[in-house]
Amino acid sequence: MDDARRSNALVCPAYQGYPRNQWYVVAFSNEVKRELLQRRVLGDLMVLYRTEDGMPVALADRCPHRGMPLSKGTLIGDAIQCGYHGFTFGATGGCVRVPSQDAIPSKMAVHKYPLVEKWQWIWAWMGDPAKADPAMIPDHHELGLGRAGYTASAIFCMEIKANYQLLHENLLDTSHIQYLHPGQLDNDNAGEATFKTEYLDDRIRIVREMPNTLLNAAMARLFKLPEGSLIDRDLVTETYPPNLSVVQNVFREPGRPNDPPKVHVIVPMAITPGGPRLTYQFTTVATSYPEQRTKQQNDHVWNVFTQDRDALEAIQQGFDELGPDAPEFSVKADQAALRCRQIITDMVRREEARG
Ligand SMILES: [Fe+2]
């Protein structure tokens, strides 16, 4: 294949690669404590903990001496003592103790991942630390996290045994809610809703318009609106490749498109590849009304998301049986998803080209 054609060729969504010179959410703040947490991110094993001063730390989870995972060791002060031969590594990743000798080899160290803790998310830079630029982290105010008048909560992290590209595409084509989540998120009207797609630099925004939607019981409960009433609904997905997808529900009085929304619910989801077939979906919600989220509400969202998880895992398994050349037949509604696929593919190829 010549270079021009290759640059336009799309990768199979079950086998998308991941750009490393990016920030990815690796944990919610409350998951990282004064104990060692192992997490697999972009194929790497990482160990996370907090220093005595409360700063989060992420190190490569492998003792350079004999390869023992450091997460199986002991946190002593701000350092990890390996559980095999007691080699000890400080919060900078440098070795601070070799029990069998006084001299510490100067090169003995583990990789330290740059971290930024913002709102209730911990973002890690997975590439060359010299290139880590916190300005690349999406603006949290824009996401509704910490925005005045909005109530924001971290809900849960779902693990999906499928490639993260499949999740981005699931969230970009919200027409699926009518068929995958019947009666739970729409009134049988999402599939045929008119939509418009916008491309803003490297972002993708798709708006599905559902005027005069009759609020069924499940939607009324979920969005705190009166059951049986009519409402104009916009269902918006904005994708920030490769690490974030934001779904918004905007409800307005019918026929009053310029009024402020009656209800606005923003669902920012950090999307992080654990590996080629593992994805984390760090789900949060920001509502335009005050709320103390209940377990019942969160369980409802969890149950809906398990339907997506099961679908994506089945799709991944199908590709794994048929291989990356298994055909897909796309229609107009897939343009946004294909654009997302292309943007991430290009990001990966640009990194590969630079070596
Ligand atoms: Fe879904």
**155 and 283 in contact (C-beta within 8 Å)?**
yes
pLDDT at 297 over 90: no
- C-alpha 199 – ligand 1 centre gap (Å): 22
Q: Which residue has the tokens 């779902």?
A: 158
What H or E segment, with its residue span, contains residue 352? helix 335-354
Compute the mean pLDDT over every residue in the chain, rounded to the nearest whole number.
Answer: 94
- C-alpha 308 – ligand 1 centre gap (Å): 5
Rounded alpha-carbon distances, angstroms, from residue 268 to 64, 120, 239: 37, 12, 10
Q: Which residue has the tokens 């997808």?
A: 245
Question: Is the pTM for the entire model greater than 0.85?
Answer: yes
- C-alpha 247 – ligand 1 centre gap (Å): 11
Token pair in block for residue 343: 């943007």
| pLDDT tens-digit map of 232-251 | 999 999 999 999 999 999 99
pLDDT at 2 over 80: no
SS3 of residue 21 by DSSP: coil
Token pair in block for residue 57: 């730390």
pLDDT of amino acid 7: 52
| Ligand 1 ion: nearby residues, β-carbon < 5 Å | 308
Share of the chain above pLDDT 70, in %: 98
- The DSSP 8-state label assigned to residue 92 in this structure reads T
- C-alpha 129 – ligand 1 centre gap (Å): 35
- C-alpha 325 – ligand 1 centre gap (Å): 25
CA atoms within 13 A on the CB side of 301: 19
The pLDDT-based confidence of 331 (bands split at 50, 70, 90) is very high
| pLDDT tens-digit map of 27-64 | 999 999 999 999 999 999 999 999 999 999 999 999 99
pLDDT of amino acid 3: 45
- Work out the burial of residue 276: count CB atoms within 10 Å of its CB; fewer than 13 is exposed, 13-18 middle, 19 or more buried: middle
- C-alpha 32 – ligand 1 centre gap (Å): 28
- C-alpha 116 – ligand 1 centre gap (Å): 29
Of 47, 21, 53, which Cα lies nearest the Cα of 32? 47
- C-alpha 171 – ligand 1 centre gap (Å): 7
330 contact partners, CB below 8 Å, separation of at least 6: 338
- C-alpha 187 – ligand 1 centre gap (Å): 14
pLDDT of amino acid 4: 44
157 contact partners, CB below 8 Å, separation of at least 6: 27, 28, 31, 280, 281, 282, 283
- The DSSP 8-state label assigned to residue 261 in this structure reads P
Please provide the DSSP assignment of 290-327 as one string: -----HHHHHHHHHHHHHHHHHHHHHHHHHHHH-TT--
Alpha carbon 176 to chain centroid, angstroms: 19
Q: Which amino acid is at 71?
A: S
184 contact partners, CB below 8 Å, separation of at least 6: 177, 218, 300, 304
Select, from the ranges 3-17, 174-188, 242-256, the one with the highest average predicted confidence (pLDDT).
242-256
Rounded Cα–Cα distance for residues 251 and 246 (Å):
16
What H or E segment, with its residue span, contains residue 74? strand 74-76
| pLDDT tens-digit map of 258-293 | 999 999 999 999 999 999 999 999 999 999 999 888
Hey, how many other C-beta atoms are within 10 angstroms of the C-beta on 188? 14
Rounded Cα–Cα distance for residues 31 and 352 (Å):
33
| pLDDT tens-digit map of 84-123 | 999 999 999 999 999 999 999 999 999 999 999 999 999 9
Rounded Cα–Cα distance for residues 303 and 272 (Å):
20
